[in-house]
Amino acid sequence: MNFKVLKLTPSICFFCLVTIVACTGNHKKSAKQPNIQSREFQDKLIDANKMYVKRESDEIDQYIAHKGWLMTTTGTGLRYLITKKGAGELAKLEQRAKVNYKISLLDGTLCYSSEVTGPKEFLIGRDNVESGLHEGIQYMHLGDKAILILPSYMAHGLIGDESKVPPHASVVYELELLSLR
């Protein structure tokens, strides 16, 4: 028999707990059962999410310190570092960007690369790419090379990309901005 091992992350455990609480067979309201509409329950969910975001942020900071990078952190939690300055214009919303890229996990696992798939093109602020990529590209000038670290909530979130990026994974983008139009 073949068995698949399921890695129980804190987010999966939390999701299971919420599902179990929400789906209990006793549908009578009582003071002891949490009501998912209650402010208290919502506050607990918010607190749990804040703890997870802080833990993920700490892991990213440890990764950056290990690499010895001096990265800028934005208000959204995106980290970026321009590694090579280009001479072109600054990328803006509504422009079509063409980039070479490598996408990896914090453990170094390479997920995707333009060396295999070719450069990626997307409309900044519009196309269906990670929100962290939409934000990060706007710190780059044409010809720049940069490293972006996207926390999971700015990358593929709770479910990953259902291929190579696992659930709740921070991703590291190595980018080169090839063209803007």
Give the CA radius of gyration of the chain. 20
**Residue 88 in contact with residue 180, Cβ under 8 Å?**
yes
The answer, yes or no, to whether residue 178 has pLDDT greater than 50, is yes
d(CA 59, CA 65): 10
Residues near 84 by beta carbon (within 8 Å), at least 6 away in sequence: 143, 144, 145, 176
User: Whole-model pTM?
Assistant: 0.78
pLDDT of residue 35: 73
Domains and CATH numbers, the chain: 71-180 (3.10.50.40)
pLDDT digits (tens, 9 = 90+) for 127-160: 999 999 999 999 999 999 999 999 999 999 989 9
pLDDT digits (tens, 9 = 90+) for 6-55: 444 555 555 555 555 555 555 554 455 667 778 898 999 899 989 999 99
Q: List phi, psi (to 5°) of 129.
A: -125, 170
**Residue 76 in contact with residue 154, Cβ under 8 Å?**
yes
Q: List phi, psi (to 5°) of 178.
A: -85, -40
Query: What tokens does 22 get?
Result: 């929400």
Pairing assessment for the beta strands 96-105 and 110-113 based on DSSP bridges: antiparallel
Pairing assessment for the beta strands 72-73 and 79-84 based on DSSP bridges: antiparallel
pLDDT digits (tens, 9 = 90+) for 54-96: 999 999 999 999 999 999 999 999 999 999 999 999 999 999 9
